[in-house]
Amino acid sequence: MLGFASCSDDEGSTNPTTPGGSTMADNVAGIYDSQIAVSINGNDLQPSNYAVEITKSSDTEIKFTLRDFSITDPSGMTLDLGTIELDGVKIAKVDSAYSFATVDTLSLAIFGGEPLPVPIDFSGSFTDTTIDANIDINFGETMVIVVDINGTKRGTSEGGDQPSEPELTMAQEIAGDYASNIAVTINSSEPIVSENTVHITAVSAEVVNLALNNFVITDPTSGAEIAPGDIVLENVPLMRDSLGISFMASDTLMLAVVPGMDPLPVPVEAMGNVNGDVLDAHFDIDFMNGAMAIAVEIDGQKN
């Protein structure tokens, strides 16, 4: 459960309604285009831009969300912390600002390991248009990460100009569902055409999961079904090139050839790119050591 560093009556008001009739949570809710400065064990890293989401939990409580948060240290090593979400954060009116201070324990993973319970200290303040916040992420004696957030609510600015959009990561750019035309050949046969949806989900700034679920091929001549099922490639790295955002991955998946058959280890290779909202991809599925080679051409449009 989230804790809150309480304030005495002369330090701040917890009256949920402001003079305009809206609640404190209503006043601070929004998306904040933010510059985020990070230090690891006291060593400052290059600042980066993120969109911070503040949503209303109750009249006096908010939910803070920082999605797909990753840190790259000077050696080039990337720490993928995923989405940091703190719910039920109490806010109090202090003069013309809104303050908050809370502690929580989140399940976070680093270096690809298993998620661990990690203490989080979160404190700061809002004005009607800005957030100034600090997150301490304490991995014990191993690592302490300090995150400083300075953001402006989207659609407002103190100078009258609209704030610039935060730079999206490659994974955020291409994440989504792609309605796709799929052409399948089996051992260089005539293409079998069908429709399906390819799902791309962000894992970190430059890594995604690719999923082609409920994949079934029906032979138009015999009516026989080949049903590999869900084809999911995890932790696929991305790179930006002349084609857009490209990917290449290979893995061995447990897939079934026909319904009711026990799954077998099957090598799967995938390559492709996303340019704007268009997905162009190719999967090779090698059943039975080449006895059945399935090639899948995917032409998708983001929904």
Dump pLDDT digits (tens) for 252-301. Answer: 998 877 767 788 899 999 999 999 999 999 999 998 776 788 899 999 99
Sorted by where each begins, the domain ranges of the chain are 3-166, 171-302
Q: What is the pLDDT of residues 207-266, one digit of tens each?
A: 899 999 888 887 766 777 788 888 999 999 999 888 899 999 999 998 877 767 788 899
CB of 209 within 8 A of CB of 235?
Answer: yes
Which residue type does 1 have?
M
Quote the pLDDT of residue 287: 82
Q: Residue written as tokens 């909202």?
A: 277
Quote the pLDDT of residue 16: 53
Q: What average pLDDT does the segment 19-25 reach? A: 72
Examine domains 3-166 and 171-302 and report if their fold is the same: yes
Class of domain 171-302: mainly beta
Nearest to 74 by CA among 109, 38, 101: 38
Torsion of CA 38, 44, 49, 51, to 10 degrees: 10
CATH number of 3-166: 2.40.128.350
Nearest to 207 by CA among 242, 248, 178: 248
CB of 198 within 8 A of CB of 192?
Answer: no
Q: What average pLDDT does the segment 169-197 reach? A: 89
